[in-house]
């Protein structure tokens, strides 16, 4: 006589079929054994401790640079091993919302400024600068990466060598902006003397293809101030890019930045400048688009990132959150 057992697993139980075969008869029986340890297996998502890893989950799904994700995971996990947050991380909400566009101004660039582009001097007051707000409210992971880069450079160059490197980098940026100002004034038939600087010639070469699409330069190296939110800044350029009036910001880089997300807080800076222009009585027009141009040290074609009005509005809301955070810390003397 031969026999075999067929075991079928069901949720919460096991059903066993026992069948005996012989030449004359076939006998079978079945019985069910309750197994409380056979519980429904949870999915990986159900097993995630959301209060503990909420920030990490949000970061992994936010579309940020993947190269930083492993570092963030290590930092986030290390910080959560011994301390559990008392409550879930809440999404920050604006307390006071100010529109990007000014309803008291015309929404179109109706007048073309004749003669020299506007170059308004920066006012001496206690208003916060855009760069200061962004620097002092820098996200934790971004600040950590910046500090790691700094320590790595100090290890390679030494402290004095690193200080010299930073000094030279800022000077090259300043010279590059001066060269761009001279080139754009030339486009407007205004000649400005500019000594040739071989250290930035590759950066200038990098952006020449972008200059072909820039017309009607309205402002260059001009101060802007938001007369409601009390902050100020110095814009690089206001001009038309392919027929659309934009705030244009020039940046230099040694590494490619083909996507807007690679430029960190630069889009927030442009949005802040746009909002300031629209609420600055020195400008009789409004802007709702931006252009971020990244020039490269090796002279390769610059990446130009156009920011539509919808995209600028999104970054404007993010800027307002950073500004509120800055003021909450007591950094703003005007409050």
In the predicted model, what is the mean pLDDT of residues 76-83?
36
125-160 pLDDT, tens digit per residue, is 889 999 999 999 998 988 898 899 999 999 999 999
> Domain segments of the chain: what residues?
114-333
> Annotated active-site positions, please?
236, 249, 251
Residue 64 in this model has a pLDDT that exceeds 90: no
* pLDDT band for position 193 (cuts 50, 70, 90): low
The better pLDDT of the pair 107, 40 is held by 107
Torsion, Cα 200 202 203 204, to 10 degrees, reads 90
Residue 88 in this model has a pLDDT that exceeds 90: no
pTM listed for this prediction = 0.69
> What is the structure's pLDDT at 188?
64
In the predicted model, what is the mean pLDDT of residues 10-19?
45
> What is the structure's pLDDT at 331?
61
> What is the structure's pLDDT at 189?
54
Distance CA 3, CA 329 (A): 79
Residue 46 in this model has a pLDDT that exceeds 80: no
The better pLDDT of the pair 246, 149 is held by 246
Torsion, Cα 187 190 191 193, to 10 degrees, reads -100
What number of CA atoms fall less than 13 Å from residue 212's CA on the CB side?
6
Residue with tokens 């330069």: 217
> What is the structure's pLDDT at 76?
36
> What is the structure's pLDDT at 97?
86
The domain at 114-333 falls in which architecture?
A: Alpha-Beta Complex (3.90)
Neighbour count for residue 285 (Cβ, 10 Å): 19
Residue % of the chain over a pLDDT of 90? 53
């Amino acid at each position: 006589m031969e026999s075999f057992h067929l075991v079928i697993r069901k949720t919460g139980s096991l059903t066993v079929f026992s069948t005996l075969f012989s030449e004359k008869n076939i006998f079978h029986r079945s019985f069910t054994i309750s197994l409380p340890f056979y519980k429904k297996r949870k999915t990986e998502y159900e097993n995630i401790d959301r209060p503990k890893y909420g920030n990490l989950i949000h970061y992994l799904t936010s579309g940020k640079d993947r190269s930083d994700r492993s570092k963030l995971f290590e930092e986030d996990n290390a910080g959560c091993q011994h301390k559990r947050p008392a409550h879930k991380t809440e999404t920050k909400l604006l307390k006071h919302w100010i529109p990007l566009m000014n309803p008291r101004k015309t929404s179109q660039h109706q007048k073309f400024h004749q003669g020299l582009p506007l170059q308004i001097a920066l006012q001496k007051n206690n208003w916060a600068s855009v760069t200061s707000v962004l620097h002092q409210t820098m996200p934790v992971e971004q600040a950590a990466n910046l500090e790691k880069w700094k320590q790595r450079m100090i290890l390679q160059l030494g402290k004095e060598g690193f200080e010299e490197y930073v000094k030279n980098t800022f000077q090259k940026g300043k010279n590059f902006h001066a060269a761009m100002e001279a080139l754009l004034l030339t486009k407007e038939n205004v000649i400005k003397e500019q000594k040739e600087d071989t250290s930035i010639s590759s950066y200038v070469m990098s952006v020449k293809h972008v200059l072909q699409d820039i017309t009607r330069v309205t402002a260059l190296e001009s101060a802007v101030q938001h007369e409601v939110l009390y902050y100020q800044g110095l814009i690089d350029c206001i001009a038309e890019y392919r027929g659309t009036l934009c705030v244009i910001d020039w940046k230099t880089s040694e590494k490619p930045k083909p996507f807007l997300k690679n430029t960190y807080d630069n889009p927030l800076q442009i949005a802040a400048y746009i909002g300031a222009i629209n609420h600055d009585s020195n400008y009789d027009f409004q802007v709702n688009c931006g252009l971020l141009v990244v020039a490269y040290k090796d002279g390769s074609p610059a990446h130009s990132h156009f920011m539509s009005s919808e995209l600028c509005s999104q970054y404007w809301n993010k800027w307002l959150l950073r500004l509120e955070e800055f003021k909450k810390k007591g950094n703003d003397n005007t409050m």
